[in-house]
A and B are shown apart, each in its own frame.
Chain A
Amino acid sequence: MKQLVSLGALLLLAGMAGCGPREKVVKIALACPLTGDLGSLGQGLKRGVELALQEEGSYDAQLPWRIVLEAYDDRADPKEAVNVANRIVSDPAIVAVIGHFNSGCSIPAAQVYAQHGLLMMTPAASNPKLTLQQLEPSWPWVRNVFRVNTTDDIQGAVAAEFARQRLKTATTAILHDKTAYGQGIAEEFQKRFETLGGKTLSFDGITTGERDFKSLLTRIKATKPSVLYFGGMFTEGGLLVRQARELGLTAPFVFAEANFDPEFLRIAGESAEGAYLTFLGSPPELLPTAKRFVEVYNRRYPGKEIKAYDHYAYEVTGILLTALRQVGPDRAKLIATVRTMRYRGVLGETAFDAKGDTLNKAITLFQVKGGKFVPLPGAPLPPA
């Protein structure tokens, strides 16, 4: 229904008009939320993918096929994600999927793609289960999932180490949004925090879309935690920190990377001041290898903010196009090629382990200062 042939692909076509007719169409699917609460992030991913296609377009003018991007909206809903996945696998012209965005969508959708031997590359889903599920004996299919972002077991652990060792806090109250992502990372935080001798005072789920968390925060305030942790998205994160501060809950607040969004600052206002966030890898402004990406992006999309995962979307598209040039539009060969690829791009060097996770496991720490996300010096290295 919401299947859109992207503008970028059309531009690409226009640029190739002089190259003679090339009948064979190779399709790449992008599956992520394009509408709804997370729609703005999905639109950012789409810009990242289109930018990469446009950049690579000049090389691909020599190839005997043309590449078309098809964007599918999964509305951040796991049920819809499986529907979308079934539509994608039924189109034989699609050779690979970029997506999904949410872990909760990616985990079930990956199984559909695996059954049909379709390559899936996610630019954002960070729950470790997404790649771990492929190692289970009940997984008879090919291991088809690759991701270029660090996973939540590492992100949660780094946040816990930061809270325990750098902030020297002993007790924590943990909140999550009951999604595979939010609850997953909250559990990783809790595990590490307790291994390091900290104590969990409470572990509570909230409902996404809800706007009033004051009763829960009032209860948490009474237990006097020395640090708060939230695993979830920026809308709820912003409201949580705002309402916590209004209730006089002054303990430091640590957030997972999905809160790293200008909207978090807009919702929380001054209450965001001092909040800590972990970020998967680094945002493009901090990556020397991404300087060109930032320039090209700002030129192509003037006035659009670069969202937190756009450079990941750009990177997976680059990896995919490289593999495509090497082996052509063959689903099985593409998976095998990506598995052994060493790719130098905006993230530095990317290579994958046996599960399909990137070997680049950096995490950056941020604090909100003066209404901006400011990187903290001496960020801890990922645990060995």
Chain B
Amino acid sequence: MLLQQLINGVTLGAIYALIALGYTLVYGILRMINFAHSEVFMGGAFLGLATLGLVGRSWLPAGGQVAIMVVVAMLGCAFLGMALERIAYRPLRRAPRLTPLISAIGASLVLQNAIFLFVSDQSLTFRESLPVVHWRCGGAELNSLQLLILTLAVGCMVVLRQFILKTRLGQAMRATAQDSQTAQLMGVNINQIIALTFFLGGALGGAAGVLNGMYYGSIKYNMGFILGIKAFTAAVLGGIGNITGAMAGGFLLGILEALGAGFLPGGAEWKDVFAFVVLILVLLVKPSGLLGQHVPEKL
């Protein structure tokens, strides 16, 4: 049973981690919490479903259809993220810190209600796009979908990490995160870098949205709200602004929730309390979060 709970927790954690990266990337560069990110995630799920509807009847094999769906959702959400930055945040870049926060909440409401009004106010079935294979090992059930979620999530994270640590653009992002004014003096185009950050965060959010839809089999306009809060918690737990921290925080939160609900008596009712108590304890001991200070370049 422990093994099964770990599988449950890690799958949940992978999705948390993907979304948490979006929060942490933006925070690292702009010191701002992008509350509309949870709606970018939701948009990814809807975009994925729409794409699947278009390519679903084509001659493509199921694997190809899913690949197209993931790519379209990631690209679409990447541009959605950039558009949000351009419309809702850039005009407020020199405003007091609270102003873009309010703008973010507004953007989130607009996106959620747009889907509610113009797409659907009910749950939509995310039809099975891949045949799901089940395995049993040691009394635990594992399916191909969970494996796909893990592989894709970890893959995205590795690529993102390499991008930030190894490329010139990544270097420019790190420089902007450390000190945007100095970076600008060194010839870094700040606007471009900030747009790139939203592009990357949006793409990861879009991927998470599609994976979430495939995993739970249905999507709804308000699906981003609770997941967004959890992912934000994961980002803070890992040390907001730190990429490795967001991944660690996501997995940790997923596993903690699974173990809390799975092993404590009456744990399901208290699983959020359990997760937040751990968050508070971590912040008491280490206010910057788990990995908040270990890495010199804050991102």
- Interface positions, chain A 220-271, Cβ under 8 Å from B, are 222, 235, 238-239, 242, 246-248, 263, 266-269
Interface stretch of the complex, out of B22-30, B74-82, B154-162, B256-264? B256-264
Number of contacting residues on A, CB 8 A?
A: 33
Q: Is the CB of B121 within 8 A of A211?
A: no
Q: Is the CB of B1 within 8 A of A209?
A: no
Digitize B215-245: 1 where CB-to-A-CB distance is under 8 Å, 0 elsewhere.
0111010110111000000000000000000
Digitize B32-58: 1 where CB-to-A-CB distance is under 8 Å, 0 elsewhere.
000000000000000000000000000
Residues of chain A with a CB closer than 8 A to B62's CB: none
Q: Is the CB of A266 within 8 A of B12?
A: no
A267's closest neighbor in chain B, by CB? B218
Instruction: Choose among B123, B223, B226, B259 the residue with the greatest number of A CB atoms under 10 Å from its CB.
Output: B123
Residues of chain A with a CB closer than 8 A to B226's CB: 209-211
Q: Is the CB of A214 within 8 A of B121?
A: no
A343 within 8 A of B: no
B223's closest neighbor in chain A, by CB? A211
How far is B123's CA from A268's CA once the two chains are assembled, in angstroms? 11
Partner of B259 from A40, A214, A215 at Cβ < 8 Å: A215
B267 within 8 A of A: yes
Interface of A, secondary structure class, is helix
Number of contact residues on B: which range applies? Answer: 35 or more
How far is B142's CA from A248's CA once the two chains are assembled, in angstroms? 11
How far does the Cβ of B62 sit from chain A's closest Cβ, in whole Å? 17
Partner of B5 from A39, A207, A215 at Cβ < 8 Å: A215
Residues of chain B with a CB closer than 8 A to A266's CB: 122-125, 218
Residues of chain B with a CB closer than 8 A to A219's CB: 1, 261-263, 267
Q: Is the CB of B268 within 8 A of A213?
A: yes
How far does the Cβ of A338 sit from chain B's closest Cβ, in whole Å? 33
Residues of chain A with a CB closer than 8 A to B225's CB: 209
A285 within 8 A of B: no
Interface of B, secondary structure class, is helix
How far does the Cβ of A354 sit from chain B's closest Cβ, in whole Å? 36
Residues of chain A with a CB closer than 8 A to B272's CB: 207
Q: Is the CB of B227 within 8 A of A211?
A: yes
How far is B263's CA from A209's CA once the two chains are assembled, in angstroms? 22
How far does the Cβ of A69 sit from chain B's closest Cβ, in whole Å? 21
A77 within 8 A of B: no
How far does the Cβ of A208 sit from chain B's closest Cβ, in whole Å? 10
B8 within 8 A of A: yes
How far is B272's CA from A211's CA once the two chains are assembled, in angstroms? 13
Residues of chain B with a CB closer than 8 A to A247's CB: 4, 141
Residues of chain A with a CB closer than 8 A to B268's CB: 204-206, 213, 215-216
Residues of chain B with a CB closer than 8 A to A246's CB: 141, 143
Residues of chain B with a CB closer than 8 A to A37's CB: 220, 222
A326 within 8 A of B: no
Residues of chain B with a CB closer than 8 A to A238's CB: 123, 218
Digitize A347-384: 1 where CB-to-B-CB distance is under 8 Å, 0 elsewhere.
00000000000000000000000000000000000000
How far is B5's CA from A266's CA once the two chains are assembled, in angstroms? 27
Given A204-B268, A211-B227, A269–B262 Cβ distance below 8 Å? no
Q: Is the CB of A214 within 8 A of B218?
A: no
B86 within 8 A of A: no
Q: Is the CB of A39 within 8 A of B123?
A: no
- Interface positions, chain B 260-280, Cβ under 8 Å from A, are 260-263, 266-269, 271-272
A residues in contact (CB < 8 Å) with B: 35-37, 39-40, 178, 204-207, 209-216, 218-219, 222, 235, 238-239, 242, 246-248, 263, 266-269
List 9 A-B pairs, minimum CB-CB distance, nearest first: A215-B261, A205-B269, A216-B268, A215-B258, A215-B262, A214-B8, A267-B218, A204-B268, A266-B125
5 residue pairs of the A-B complex, CB under 8 angstroms, read: A39-B121, A206-B268, A216-B262, A238-B218, A246-B141
